[in-house]
Structures are given as structure tokens and as C-alpha cells.
């Protein structure tokens, strides 16, 4: 298991300010954009993240997820506020950082060693020392 620090920056808030409810909200919200470089098909719900497209789908009425990672309370609070905020208010939100644990099953699907250089000075993602492999 690896720990990943996710930071929603002012730039991410600017890019996601017009995110609206619907199927695409979980792929265009601030947290989703913050992790896009290593999990391009991630879906962010109110309380969790499904990292890969095969872990979420739209059944015609709602999004169904499996193998999701529970988000820390701080991230859940951020999502609740973001979802209720107007685009202009989203631009005024403070950046937020939090850590999640990426399970080994997810790490096996990506080449983490190949990603380490990308994450060295990444503006929104950081591998946490002592966070696993």
C-alpha cells in the first residue's frame, strides 16, 4: 500500500469552477482533476474515489462504484462545500490537502516506478515517504 498526498490548488479550483451535477461531476470536480495525471479515469463521489474506469459506471440513473477508496473527512467536507458553491465562490475556496492509501491492487495496474519522476515536483500529487512500496 502506498500513501498519496492530494492537493487541490487554486489552479485546480479555477479549472473546476464550472463543474456541474450530472454524470460528469465526478470526473470534472476539483479532486478528480487533481489526480488526473496518474488516474485519468478516476471518479470522485461524495465520500470516496474509484480510481479506474472499470470500477465505476453509469446505470442510466446513478453512478455505481466498486473498489473505491474512502476519502478522509477533510476531503468529504471540501466536496460538500464545493458541490453547493457557485462557480465564483469556488474560486474563493482555500486549497486543501489530504492523504489517501492506494491499495496494492491499484498499484499493480500502474507502473509506480515510472510515475515517481513525474510526481517529484508535481503541483497536486506527492508520494508520502513511509507510505509503502
pLDDT tens column, 89-126:
999 999 999 999 998 888 888 877 777 888 888 999 99
Does the predicted model carry a pTM greater than 0.75?
yes
Rounded-to-integer distance, Cα 27 and Cα 45, Å: 9
Angle, vertex CA 21, rays to CA 13 and CA 82, nearest 5: 35
Task: Give the count of alpha carbons within 13 A of 14, CB side only.
Answer: 3
DSSP 69-127: EEPPHHHHHHHHHHHHS-HHHHHTSPPEEEEEEEPHHHHTTS-HHHHHHHHTT-SSEEE
Rounded-to-integer distance, Cα 106 and Cα 18, Å: 30
Q: How many residues does the chain have?
A: 133
Residue 40 clears pLDDT 70, i.e. is over it: yes
Rounded-to-integer distance, Cα 129 and Cα 60, Å: 41
Query: Where does the pLDDT of residue 22 fall: very low under 50, low under 70, confident under 90, or very high at 90 and above?
Result: low
- Domain layout of the chain by residue ranges: 2-127
Which of the pair, 82 or 58, is modelled with greater confidence? 82
Amino acid at each position: 500500500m502506498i500513501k498519496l498526498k492530494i492537493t487541490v490548488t487554486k489552479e485546480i479550483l479555477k479549472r473546476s469552477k464550472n463543474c456541474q451535477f450530472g454524470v460528469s461531476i465526478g470526473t470534472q470536480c476539483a479532486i478528480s482533476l487533481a489526480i488526473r495525471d496518474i488516474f485519468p479515469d478516476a471518479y470522485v463521489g461524495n465520500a470516496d474515489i474509484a480510481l479506474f474506469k472499470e470500477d465505476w459506471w453509469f446505470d442510466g440513473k446513478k453512478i455505481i462504484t466498486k473498489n473505491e477508496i474512502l476519502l478522509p473527512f477533510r476531503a468529504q467536507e471540501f466536496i460538500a462545500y464545493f458541490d453547493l458553491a457557485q462557480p465564483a465562490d469556488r474560486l474563493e475556496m482555500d486549497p486543501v490537502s489530504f492523504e489517501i492509501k492506494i491499495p496494492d491492487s491499484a498499484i499493480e495496474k500502474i507502473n509506480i516506478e515510472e510515475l515517481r519522476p513525474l510526481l517529484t515536483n508535481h503541483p497536486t500529487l506527492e508520494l508520502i515517504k513511509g507510505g509503502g512500496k
